[in-house]
Structure 1
Amino acid sequence: MNIIQLLYGSLRKPVTIIVAVIAIIFFSVISIRNMPVDIFPKLGTPTIYVAQTYGGLSAEQLEGYITSYYEYHFLYVTGIKSVESKTIQGVTLLKLNFHEGTDMGQATGEVVAMVNRARAFMPPGTISPFVTRFDGGSVPVGQLVFSSTRSLSEVQDLALFKVRPMFSTLPGVSAPPPFGGNQRTVLIKADPDKLRSYNVTPQDLVTAIAKGNVITPSGNIRVGDQTLITPQNTVVENIQDLANIPIKTGSGPTVFVHDVAAVDNGADITSGYALINDKRSVYIPVTKRADASTWDVVQRVKAALPDMQAAIPPDIKVSYEFDQSGYVINSIKSLTTEGILGAVLTGLMVLLFLRDWRGSLIVVLTIPLALLSAIICLKLFGQSINVMTLGGLALAVGILVDEATVTIENIHHHQEKGEPKGRAILEASKEIALPKLLILLCILAIFFPAFFMSGIPKAMFLPLSLAVGLAMIASFLLSQSFVPVMANWLFKDHLSEKAKEGEKTSKFKDRHGKWLKKAATASTLIVTVYLLVSVVAAVLLFNVLGKELFPKVDAGQFQVRIRLADGTRLERTETKTKALLALIDSLSGGQKIAITSAFIGNQGSVIPC
């Protein structure tokens, strides 16, 4: 059979096996360097979000004039499963759920087309909505925090038009607008008394401003052999020039804007505050794209920080906070630690029972080779290094040691019977090849149903199943090729007296054999009791244990959501939030919280998306 042929081929051409092992190490390094490092695998959730803003409209008006038209038109998008909407004052958010297998590229194009069609029925001034594809892997991985003594509107303006364009060009990064500030606005503050004294109405002032600041094509003028661009002065270059726009001309003195009003820089109506360490600030959420690596995105953002800082005034400090890449790095460190511990402890157990350091060394070498082989295959399957693949590899560490351990022990057993080294290796490996294959197939059968799952469960558990299965297959193949070759090179021709089975081990095996013979006479009773105890224990534990998609982890961070009564002012909510942050700080013992971030209210309706 092919397994036996692999064994014969390995013993006949050991150099080929060593070259293959070197290739595993080489290509695993390349795979690790090129594989995306992420928190979760790519979920591929078939969902699209549409966010529409219209400042000033109540929730009822938005739902009647805007949301209802979107809901009707989106029902005719190919593959649509359901349309959900949530509307608050000034903002409506629609969630479009699609059936599994829907071409999301085509669906996104159809959604945009339906958006354009639906807007024809909406009130004048309705701006284009923000349409985005949602995936569970598109998660925030940090925040760009702006600290300054300047006004929030100035910081918001610089973050939006200076930093965000640089930020959005980084590979794998999606760039939401800044949170915490208001859109810059030019304020014309009219004095009612002066308006009355000059007999000017507010509408006259609005009309004059509109006519005095008009975008018009400049055109060309032909002079001799040249065609020149005609300069135009219909748009002000400095906001203070708005004060010199005439309101009334003709008979009598000319009335200008500065006669009845003041022109100043300002901000839009406040709809939300961002608090960084209890102080109002501005931040940009760092959100990675679904197919991007968390580690790569974080490193690119950190590398670009000096350029972002240089693009804004020096009195505004930009920093990267709430780094989520540490979660992945800690998982990798945990896997490495567990792998090392598994290898060392297994080697010690082999050394304890077989009293042969050569066999222990072979077993220890097999574990990392099996894991590295699994990583290469995961790369070929298009997987990333995430908590699920790392969890699968960590789970496999405790199982894959059996293959090499059993092989080494059986070789020792044959040598104890007086067989020559070569014959002992060949016969021992042949003897257990089929049982080991059967054990491998039983383990693979446990994880095979993951291929028939769908949706998020498949996206989450298929990488774990692949990691375990590939590591086990690699361990089996190594036990039939690498282990015999290394045993043939390292083992002595005959076992030393120290390596032979000791008296205590023989007594233990004898007692174990006698117990098995007695148990065989009452096998029906033992199996029945075992099944009953197992079923009862499983039912009890199932009812006692919690039921969550992800286990609880201590990431050093937590979130709190506060909801006050409808209609509560932002300032009152801000006060409550600060009181909660102070309470958390006191409960933690004081000065133990590295940083806090809070957002109160909702994003402004005129912020460019």
Structure 2
Amino acid sequence: MISAALRNPITVIVIILGIVIFSLLALVSIPVDIFPKLNLPTIYIAQPYGGMAPDQMEGFIATRYQNQLLYVTGIKDIEVKNVQGLCLVKCTFYEDVNMAQVSGEVANQVNRVMSYMPPGTVPPTVVRFDASSLPVGELVFSSKRASLNEMQDLASTLIRPMFSQIPGASAPPPFGGNERTIVVKVNPEAMAGYQLTPDDIVQAVVDNNQISPAGNVRIGNLTVITPNNTVVENSEDFLNIPLLKKSGPTVFLRDVATVEDAADVTVGYALVNGKRSVYIPVTKTADASTMDVVNALKKKLPEMQALLPDYVELKYEFDQSVYVVQAVKSLATEGILGALLTGLMIFLFLKDIRGSAIVVLNIPIAILAAVLLLSLTGQTINIMTLSGLALAVGILVDEATVSIENIHQHLEMG
């Protein structure tokens, strides 16, 4: 091979230039991630049922899922965890299965299971888990005036829908605040005095707070839309909902209860820089590049901030792409220093400018060729591959020094 390269120097130069050009193109397009792709095909099914004991969840719900999910293609294992009010089913599949097909089969089997569930069972949450779908940061909301509930509402209604405009990004619901909730506090003695039950009050609130399309009314040449809209706009209007409309005075909700525009029960909170706050976890899809998602999100931040009131500040914190950027910079620094110091050493000891130039060019070309091979094999630039390339820099420095010195020794021997 060496003799063939010496006989065809033009061919070797063209091949090296081609490697450099294609490597630079691959360097621009290759995904940059934190960890390599991990194939752990898993689907979680979360089935809630408020108030049901764990043994009842096991007998009435978990058993149905275990029996029905055995019909899914490629199923490897089914694990079930039951707590009060929740059944969590973990479905693990073999690595060579088509997850798109499997997800559809799981959805079909879940629909079949629902027909065997106890009355009042709500549809479950089906989530496909992927180890490569990692959080890449958090959008943190802070304000000196706004309450946590207000920031939670702004995050849910204004900011979270904008993640659909960021390729490769997804966002779970905001965390740290409570959802806005209209709380009706009933006086038990007043309720019993009017011979009402809690179900009567709930049904009255539902009946008087809904939209019912009534159709159209033709008036001359006009067709007028006539919706039967009874949605309550202000929390105080709930007090005017009638509960009893029998003979005698009408009983309203204000006669037996009070209404507060409050928040849901607090089940968790978030601390950012020692203060309670609201944040949206930013996650990426399995096939997305961490750097691309983070850069696209940072470009969207001014547009997101413009949607919020002036007294609410939005920041991107806990940026996970920093680790990858630092690793890339460290690899580039090591490669440059290794090439320059090796070339300088060869020039000082062997007085060979051409040999020094060969060593200086050899290390970056070898790294670029490695990046090209990573791109061709479908790999990504991540912490693991960068660590391997950093170790390879030391081997390249050693091999380049030994090779140049050996060539000089053979030239001196004639």
TM-score by length of 2: 0.89
The counterpart of 1:354, out of the listed 324, 329, 350, is 350
1:405–1:277 Cα change, 3 Å = closer
SS of 2:45's equivalent in the other structure is strand
Other-structure match for 1:221? 217
Counterpart residue identity of residue 180, structure 2: R
Of structures 1 and 2, the one scoring higher in RCO (CA 8 A, sep 6+) is: 2
- For residues 152 and 56 of structure 1, what CA distance do their matches in structure 2 show? 28
Does 2:119 match 1:140?
A: no
- For residues 128 and 193 of structure 2, what CA distance do their matches in structure 1 show? 57
Does 2:315 match 1:310?
A: no
Other-structure match for 1:439? none
SS of 2:127's equivalent in the other structure is strand
Does 2:324 match 1:328?
A: yes
- For residues 48 and 97 of structure 1, what CA distance do their matches in structure 2 show? 7
Other-structure match for 1:479? none
1:75, distance to aligned residue in structure 2 (A): 2.0
1:363–1:30 Cα change, 3 Å = same
- For residues 60 and 314 of structure 1, what CA distance do their matches in structure 2 show? 51
- For residues 160 and 61 of structure 1, what CA distance do their matches in structure 2 show? 34
Does 2:51 match 1:62?
A: no
- For residues 207 and 382 of structure 2, what CA distance do their matches in structure 1 show? 59
Q: Structure 2 unaligned runs (5+)?
A: none
The counterpart of 1:128, out of the listed 112, 120, 123, is 123
Other-structure match for 1:454? none
1:271–1:62 Cα change, 3 Å = farther
List aligned pairs for 1:270-309, cutoff 5 A: 270-309=266-305
1:226, distance to aligned residue in structure 2 (A): 4.4
Other-structure match for 1:568? none
- For residues 292 and 105 of structure 1, what CA distance do their matches in structure 2 show? 17
1:277, distance to aligned residue in structure 2 (A): 3.6
The counterpart of 1:110, out of the listed 88, 105, 113, is 105
Size of the alignment, in residue pairs?
413
Q: Deviations 1:8-45 (Å, cap 9, x if unpaired)?
A: 122xx3xx544544444433333222111111111121
Other-structure match for 2:207? 211
1:78, distance to aligned residue in structure 2 (A): 0.6
- For residues 51 and 307 of structure 1, what CA distance do their matches in structure 2 show? 35
Structure number with larger C-alpha Rg: 1
Other-structure match for 1:441? none
- For residues 210 and 345 of structure 1, what CA distance do their matches in structure 2 show? 78
Single out whichever of 216-225 and 105-114 deviates more from structure 2.
Answer: 216-225
TM-score by length of 1: 0.63
1:120–1:314 Cα change, 3 Å = farther
Give the conservation status (yes or no) of the 8 Å contact 1:186–1:265: yes
The counterpart of 2:91, out of the listed 91, 96, 112, is 96
Counterpart residue identity of residue 330, structure 1: Q
What is the identity percentage for the equivalent residue pairs of Structure 1 and Structure 2? Answer: 58
Does 2:160 match 1:164?
A: yes
Give the conservation status (yes or no) of the 8 Å contact 2:211–2:227: no
Other-structure match for 1:343? 339
Query: More strand per residue: 1 or 2?
Result: 2
- For residues 279 and 87 of structure 1, what CA distance do their matches in structure 2 show? 34
- For residues 303 and 128 of structure 1, what CA distance do their matches in structure 2 show? 37
Other-structure match for 1:498? none
1:101, distance to aligned residue in structure 2 (A): 0.7
Give the conservation status (yes or no) of the 8 Å contact 1:168–1:175: no
- What's the C-alpha RMSD, in Å, of the aligned pairs? 2.6
Single out whichever of 401-410 and 242-251 deviates more from structure 2.
Answer: 401-410
Other-structure match for 1:259? 255
1:107–1:200 Cα change, 3 Å = closer
1:157–1:69 Cα change, 3 Å = farther
1:417, distance to aligned residue in structure 2 (A): 4.4
1:54–1:174 Cα change, 3 Å = farther
Query: More helix per residue: 1 or 2?
Result: 1
Other-structure match for 1:77? 72
Other-structure match for 1:431? none
